[in-house]
Amino acid sequence: MHVHFKEESELRKALIRLLSALLVALPLLGVLAEPTFAASSRVAIIKSLTGEVSVQKAGGSKSFKAFAKMSLNQGDIITSGPKGSAVLQFANGSSEDDQMTLGADTSMTFAKVSDKKGTVTKVSVLKGNVWSHVKSIKSAEDAFQLETPTASMGVRGTNFAVVVDPKTGTTTLLVLSGIVQTGLPSAPATVPVYPTQQIQLNPSDRQPEAKIAFADLNAFVQSASSELVQAIIKQAPEINQENEAFIQRLQNGNGLLQPTSSFQIPSDLSPVQQNLEQLVGNLAQKAIEQNKSISSDIQKAIDEANSKMTDLMKKLDLGNVKPLDPAAGTDPSQSASAKNAQAEYEAQLKEEQMKQMQELQKKMLDMLKKIQEEKTRLTQQNRNRQMVLDQQALDAYLKGMTDAERQAFEQNRAALGLPPVATPAPTPTPVSPGGSGGSGGSPTPTPAPTATPTPTASPSPTPSATPTTSPSPTPAPFYGVKYADAKGEPLQLAFAPDQHVYEMKVSANNADLTITGNISADLPIKKIWSNDISYTPNADGEFRIPLRSGSEADNVISIWTSDEEPGNDESVSTLYVERADTPEGIISWSAMDQDEHWFDWYNIASNKYAAGTRSTDTERLALQIQVEENVESIHVGVDGVGADLSRFDGEDYRIFFGEIFDSLAANQATSFTLTLKDAEGRMIGQPQQMFWMNGIPESLLFELRDGSGTPARVNLEDAEEMNFSADVSPATEEIVFAPNEMGLVPLSVLANGENTYLPSTDGLIRIPLMEGPDQVLFADMGPFVIRIHLYKDLPDGLNAFQVKDPNGDRLVWNKKPVEGEQPVYRALLYSLEFESSIEFEVNSGQEVELYISGEKRYTFNSVYPTFTFPVSELKRVEEGPFTSYEFDLTIQGVLNRFIITIESLS
């Protein structure tokens, strides 16, 4: 871009060139505390900003964090995050600078800034929502142009808002004052849009004038950010002033740029005037109704606007807002026609997106099928190779046995319910074609003499010792692995005394399996390792081992019958378990939101799966499931209401697809069930319970209580990091994770970074608590992990108790042995400012009194549970090299002492 400055000195030119070079080299030097520009030049400056806002300088690929007074030049792109906003100022050398407010999730670039005969400002909004306050258009040569992917707008003295929907490509323009001439990107902007009107243009539109309608404030507030709405409210005085001038021009007969059917001038202008006067008030009212911002923020914006208005009748009053008349100035049939056209476009767009999604799904499924076929081929090839090697090893092992050893070996297998091992056959040497003699046929008769000892061994079972062993398998306990089939029926894999390697494949409903405490009656198992985690026996003397699923998740279980020392390999048995990725009948499955984002399902328990996202953007949720040929239907149950998914059959695949939810509650889990059936209506496998987690939960997704069943007091500390705190009494020895009303319980819990705990057969996770006032637990919920800081310092008789230091950090109390009749709690702080204060929060079913040096200073109750107290007023006690502060709480008639020990005092 070349910016020409009039009547500049050579020194000024050199200075400007130097500053330009610095700006290219270091974009962050784009801030000029007091920028000076020629009167006709427009340079955008960030006047203020909140939240995350970034700037990508022209020609660069890196984005920089934006800041106040940062200058923006041609080609720069400014982008706001989900909670970000910015106010831009287009400086023109006077106090009447144009301003533009960027709402959340907005991206905008400056396409052109030029000043030959007049000022031309050209801005492109790529996505999001902006509010424009343009008031410096003073001559016919001046122009303010705004472009979007589907519209172009020319502005003359206007307050207007633009929303660009990146999903549908639709641009919505709402005019609150002034006139905006609108057109398609490829044509001149010649269609005027007047105050109280809106226009929606999408990529398929060809006649902009047909899309003008009366302003839909409800729809606008839904799509605009709260910062944008507040910015509009603050400009109410200017909006009212410009609309008063518009009414005056209508009365004089020159209010319209050209004869148009979109704005009709009635003989009585009072309904139009009332609409203009009530426009901002209605917008503020809609914002509060839809919770776009809390009412206090809206009221602050109203107060700021009212402070600029001297006419009491013009001030905004939410208690006296009159509804708008949609027939005043705009033909209702025109509005209806425009809305119907937009609805048809959105329906057509949704249908096209569905077709595209189905085509994409087919391509993905074809690819998945090829991958699965290759995986199956390689797996079978490896298994066949391993079976040959195993058989060769077994043959060699059997050939080295005596007849008596072979007979004992077969008897042991029979006792364990295993089939006999076939006699190893010699590998014949091929006979040359055309002849029966030679070396090719000579080995054939040689095995006959080796079989002769077999009949001689037949009398060996006749002694009485052999029959005495036959009853032993009946009362003997089972030794081996316990699991279930796809329908939940129990299955077993028995251990063999001389076998050290086992391989098994289990269905997806086996979230874990159970291994008995012994290999055999006289060979106990000392320890089991699985997936780098060590397991010890449970109360029943058995090992419960969780199983991972997925194509990359191999479960290698090492079973030790002696100490883990080098050279003890003979005492280790290895169990290879392949767990199915998906439930019976399902080849692949996934969830999809309205933006075509795909989500995987995580197995969190037997027949239970979870998926979700930390954001709350999911409005609609759909399922796509590829199934085996025997699956005829898939039934979905939600809150007692059921429906079947739609089915699509291809040449070699069968897919079920359907939308499950068209609206989802934020920050909580939603549950539904899946049931697969065959052509005869018989259920395949078991019903699957599915959980979708939409956003960060505001409360735990399970119940947390102590060993006696008393619920722990839980608080959300950090929503972004999913950190919770929980309080229990110092006497608590065990914390229990229990299913909530939907049956949700963690997949596992990691305690203090050391031990992992799993749900027991009753569905509960029991964790013994260590000594000490606090510990940290991590609950694995599948899609994400919840962190719980457990405080074991809740005094008896209190429902809530915490003391925060001046930095807002919570003190951790350690209950000491009772000194006489008075319980004593101690906390340690490394430093504390003498002039600071600490904050108390105490809650109980009755009043709790705070005593300092024997004097009652405050009474806590359910109405006033918090209190801030200066450190200097606490009782100070010198304890050797340390300084301590004391206070007492009377809880249910018992005086409890609390001592804060400070290592250093400033």
Highest mean pLDDT among 91-100, 276-285, 360-369, 727-736: 276-285
**Of 688, 672, 673, 685, which Cα lies nearest the Cα of 606?**
688
pLDDT at 685 (0 to 100)? 92
pLDDT at 258 (0 to 100)? 66
pLDDT at 12 (0 to 100)? 46
Q: Does residue 435 register a pLDDT over 50?
A: no
What stretches of 601-743 show up as alpha helix (H) in DSSP? none
Highest mean pLDDT among 235-249, 536-550, 686-700: 235-249
Strands 120-134 and 143-148: parallel
pLDDT at 294 (0 to 100)? 66
| pLDDT: which is higher, 541 or 594 | 541
Question: Whole-angstrom Cα distance, residue 171 to residue 159?
Answer: 17
| pLDDT: which is higher, 695 or 580 | 580
**Of 93, 102, 47, 98, which Cα lies nearest the Cα of 69?**
47
What is the three-class DSSP state of 303? helix
pLDDT at 116 (0 to 100)? 55
| 413 confidence band (pLDDT: 50, 70, 90) | low
Element (DSSP H or E) covering residue 373:
helix 332-399
What is the three-class DSSP state of 345? helix
| 32 confidence band (pLDDT: 50, 70, 90) | very low
Question: Whole-angstrom Cα distance, residue 353 to residue 596?
Answer: 9
Q: What is the CA radius of gyration of the chain?
A: 39
Sign of the dihedral defined by the CA atoms of residues 355, 356, 357, 363, in that order: positive
pLDDT at 758 (0 to 100)? 82
pLDDT at 232 (0 to 100)? 93
What letter represents residue 342's amino acid? Q
pLDDT at 95 (0 to 100)? 45
CB-based contact 573:500 (threshold 8 Å): yes
Sign of the dihedral defined by the CA atoms of residues 657, 661, 662, 665, in that order: negative
Question: Whole-angstrom Cα distance, residue 871 to residue 866?
Answer: 16
For residue 528, list its beta bridge partners: 535, 559
- The per-residue pLDDT for range 140-161, each reduced to its tens digit, is 566 778 888 888 888 766 799 9
| pLDDT: which is higher, 855 or 114 | 855
Q: Does residue 741 register a pLDDT over 80?
A: yes
> In percent, how much of the chain has pLDDT > 70?
79
Question: Whole-angstrom Cα distance, residue 615 to residue 593?
Answer: 12
Question: Whole-angstrom Cα distance, residue 586 to residue 813?
Answer: 52
Contacts of 569 (CB under 8 A, 6+ apart): none
What letter represents residue 724's amino acid? F
| pLDDT: which is higher, 615 or 7 | 615
CB-based contact 763:739 (threshold 8 Å): yes
CB-based contact 496:416 (threshold 8 Å): yes
> In percent, how much of the chain has pLDDT > 90?
18
* Average pLDDT score over residue span 504-525: 91
Contacts of 471 (CB under 8 A, 6+ apart): none
Strands 703-706 and 621-627: unpaired
Q: Does residue 706 register a pLDDT over 70?
A: yes
| pLDDT: which is higher, 424 or 227 | 227
* Average pLDDT score over residue span 297-308: 90
CB-based contact 624:595 (threshold 8 Å): no
* Average pLDDT score over residue span 167-187: 87
pLDDT at 427 (0 to 100)? 42
pLDDT at 161 (0 to 100)? 93
- The per-residue pLDDT for range 859-878, each reduced to its tens digit, is 888 787 888 878 888 888 88
- The per-residue pLDDT for range 760-806, each reduced to its tens digit, is 878 889 999 887 778 889 988 877 788 898 888 778 777 777 787 77
- The per-residue pLDDT for range 98-135, each reduced to its tens digit, is 788 999 999 998 765 555 566 677 888 999 999 988 76
State the helix-helix crossing angle for 236-252 and 226-234, rounded to 10 degrees.
60
Average pLDDT, the chain: 78
What letter represents residue 607's amino acid? N
Q: Does residue 93 register a pLDDT over 50?
A: no
**Which structure tokens are listed for 72?**
């923006």
* Average pLDDT score over residue span 432-447: 38
| Measured CA angle at 901 (ends 899, 904), to 5 deg | 155
pLDDT at 736 (0 to 100)? 95
Q: Does residue 425 register a pLDDT over 60?
A: no
Question: Whole-angstrom Cα distance, residue 143 to residue 232?
Answer: 22
Q: Does residue 136 register a pLDDT over 60?
A: no
Strands 212-214 and 822-832: unpaired
Terminal-residue alpha carbon distance, the chain: 58
Q: Does residue 421 register a pLDDT over 80?
A: no
Tell me the CA distances in angstroms from 186 to 147, 654, 784, one per residue in order: 11, 45, 48
pLDDT at 480 (0 to 100)? 94
**Which structure tokens are listed for 344?**
């048809």
Q: Does residue 609 register a pLDDT over 50?
A: yes
pTM exceeds 0.85, yes or no: no
Q: Does residue 853 register a pLDDT over 50?
A: yes
Contacts of 893 (CB under 8 A, 6+ apart): none
Q: Does residue 458 register a pLDDT over 50?
A: no
CB-based contact 803:838 (threshold 8 Å): yes
pLDDT at 289 (0 to 100)? 84
pLDDT at 114 (0 to 100)? 56
Question: Whole-angstrom Cα distance, residue 708 to residue 736?
Answer: 9
